[in-house]
Amino acid sequence: MATVTFKKATRVYPGSDKPAVDALDLDIKDGEFLVLVGPSGCGKSTSLRMLAGLEEVDSGRIFIGDRDVTDVTPKDRDIAMVFQNYALYPHMTVAQNMGFALKIAGTPKEEINQRVLEAARILDLEQYLERKPKALSGGQRQRVAMGRAIVRQPQVFLMDEPLSNLDAKLRVQTRTQIASLQRRLGITTVYVTHDQTEALTMGDRIAVLKDGLLQQVGTPREMYDSPANSFVAGFIGSPAMNIGSWTVNGRQATFGDAMITLSDEVVSALRPEDDGKVIVGFRPENLERAAEGADSRIPIKVTLVEELGSDAYIYGQIVGSDREHETFGSGDGSDQVVVRIPPNEVPEPDEVFNVALKNHGGHFFSHADGSALNGR
């Protein structure tokens, strides 16, 4: 087992003048499960492939432990990779697939059999060792791919969207198996996904990338509660945070008929380049029914109600939002606000439902550069 360190690691693909990964600085602890997450094209898979030795590092260095592996061939890096498409040999049995890398390395047959059996017990694959991949389900094939990585006893596991080919129910089941297996084995793991729910539920820490740049690194709770900028705030969380630009008038921020009172810290953190605007964000659970005469009030015209038993979600637009030039809602460019409420407070469609921020429930970001402002 080992630490992993990216030091200003940069990758520029031929024919492009913009780095796919731009000066990545990242320290991964020994035995840590770190998730690289971000939208398509953000550089997460390129970062993983640089660590694996499958992509060149144009500048900067990569270390596994104290060893500089920047120019080391993939086979000599002591890593094992699990791919999205399983990459199993169709003509080999499960046991042969799992032990193939050891066979190529000249490992004695007795040791190969012992390691394969041990991995099969861990992954509950003992009864499938003589089957070929075509006779397995998607989840079983992914466990075989995991087993092939485990038998190599590497210093680092690399996983590139390993659950993408599984159906929704199996994804949930398999992600818990992978997370618990990693904690049991204690092997440093770098896991790439575009699914922020996977990131929040699996990782010890999460690294969010956008356009090749690292945006924030932290625990799932830190990323959820204290996003570093408006991109991280809107990306992490499901349903997504309600986010958009509001107009600042003194200590009030307004959007349509909605009004929020800003804290002194937020007001003092605003700069001339923010142009009298502030990016406001609040998660669906950060709202509650507004009390009569409340200073802050967000009137929402309800378009849809989802009742889920233990709680409910209402969807709608802020009253007066048609007068605004920008949108405000849950997700990129959306004008639909999402609010989670108790099931006994469900309004009717087309009703105007007044909500307000719970204590410290709002997030505020610079309109100029999206960075988080002091105070919530």
% of the chain beyond a pLDDT of 70: 98
Give the CATH class of 242-366: mainly beta
Tell me the per-residue pLDDT of 221-264, one tens digit each, with 9 for 90 and over.
999 999 999 999 999 998 999 999 999 999 999 999 999 999 99
Q: Could you tell me the pLDDT band of residue 94, with boundaries at 50, 70 and 90? A: very high
Q: What is the pLDDT of residue 217?
A: 98
In whole angstroms, what is the distance from residue 373 CA to residue 376 CA?
8
Per-residue pLDDT at 375 exceeds 60: no
CB-based contact 231:215 (threshold 8 Å): yes
In whole angstroms, what is the distance from residue 115 CA to residue 150 CA?
9
Per-residue pLDDT at 376 exceeds 70: no
Phi, psi of 238 (to 5 degrees): -145, 120
Q: What is the pLDDT of residue 113?
A: 94
Per-residue pLDDT at 60 exceeds 70: yes
What are the beta bridge partners of residue 9?
24
Tell me the per-residue pLDDT of 21-35, one tens digit each, with 9 for 90 and over.
999 999 999 999 999
CB-based contact 157:78 (threshold 8 Å): no
In 229-297, alpha helices (H) = 230-235, 264-269
Tell me the per-residue pLDDT of 120-167, one tens digit each, with 9 for 90 and over.
998 889 999 999 999 998 889 988 998 999 998 899 999 999 888 788
Question: Which two three-digit tokens encode residue 368?
Answer: 């100029």
Q: Which residue has the tokens 């660590």?
A: 51
Q: What is the DSSP letter of 20?
A: S
Per-residue pLDDT at 294 exceeds 80: no
Residue among 156, 158, 163 nearest 142 (CA): 163
Q: What is the DSSP letter of 335?
A: -
Give the CATH class of 4-231: alpha beta
Q: What is the CA radius of gyration of the chain?
A: 24
CA atoms within 13 A on the CB side of 245: 15
Question: Which two three-digit tokens encode residue 302?
Answer: 């309800």
List strands edge to edge, sheet with 67-68: 21-28, 4-11, 59-64, 67-68
Tell me the per-residue pLDDT of 168-196, one tens digit each, with 9 for 90 and over.
888 888 888 888 889 988 999 999 999 88
In the chain, domain spans? 4-231, 242-366
CB-based contact 28:7 (threshold 8 Å): no
Q: What is the pLDDT of residue 181?
A: 87
